[in-house]
Amino acid sequence: KIEVWVSTQLTELKNFSNEEYRILGSEIDALGASSAVAQNLRTQITTIEKCIANDCTLFVAREAGVAIGLLKLGQKHLYYWRKDGTLITLDPPCVLDFYVKESHQRSGIGRSLFDALLTHARIRAEALAYDRPSPKMLPFLAKHFGLRSYQPQPTNFVIFDLYFLSSPSLNNKEEGSSRRRTSDCILDTTGNRRKVNPLFY
């Protein structure tokens, strides 16, 4: 099961159900810490508070109720150097973190996380940018989505060559569609929000 949490949902959860927010936050923060270790990062890039502050969408994989993987989606303003040396700017939706517990790798969890992202955002894998993809992630993207060729960038973001064969208007439209998704809240008899639920895939 894949849970989808947009930043507005996380904010509502924090405001209306502090204990549930604390539990979810501890799970996300633990996965983020493990991801940083696995990627040899100096600092942890994924915490629940950072996801709220940076308006990110989190995809959380669970097995028997236990969080076993995450994928973080956000939007960035990027400089991109073409092969001819010219510089352009892009605003693609970006995969900012991707991690599955070692004990659950090679079992389809990573593909399920990506399928949930692509369905939720209504976008193709080649229309995304990827922040510092790990040595494991690049073969994963090649195997499942045929993404191989790209121009290395000083920013360490990877934008595959197939990105430029996608329709820019489609990319913008679909990212906007993702950002318009709102939280799923249960209302009590007075109309006040008392429970915030994620979307599921």
pLDDT attached to residue 196: 81
pLDDT attached to residue 57: 98
Find the helix packing angle between 7-16 and 18-38, rounded to 10°: 140
Report the alpha-carbon distance of residue 89 to residue 196 in Å, rounded: 37
**Considering all CA atoms of the chain, what is the largest pairwise distance in Å, rounded to the nearest integer?**
63
pLDDT attached to residue 181: 36
pLDDT attached to residue 195: 67
CB-based contact 84:119 (threshold 8 Å): no
Work out the angle at residue 201's Cα, subtended by the Cα atoms of residues 176 and 28, and round it to the nearest 5 degrees.
85
Phi then psi dihedrals of residue 128, to 5 deg = -105, 155
pLDDT tens for the chain, 201 residues long, are: 999 999 999 999 999 998 999 999 999 999 999 999 999 999 999 999 999 999 999 999 999 999 999 999 999 999 999 999 999 999 999 999 999 999 999 999 999 999 999 999 999 999 999 999 999 999 999 999 999 999 999 999 999 999 998 754 344 433 333 333 333 433 333 445 446 889 898
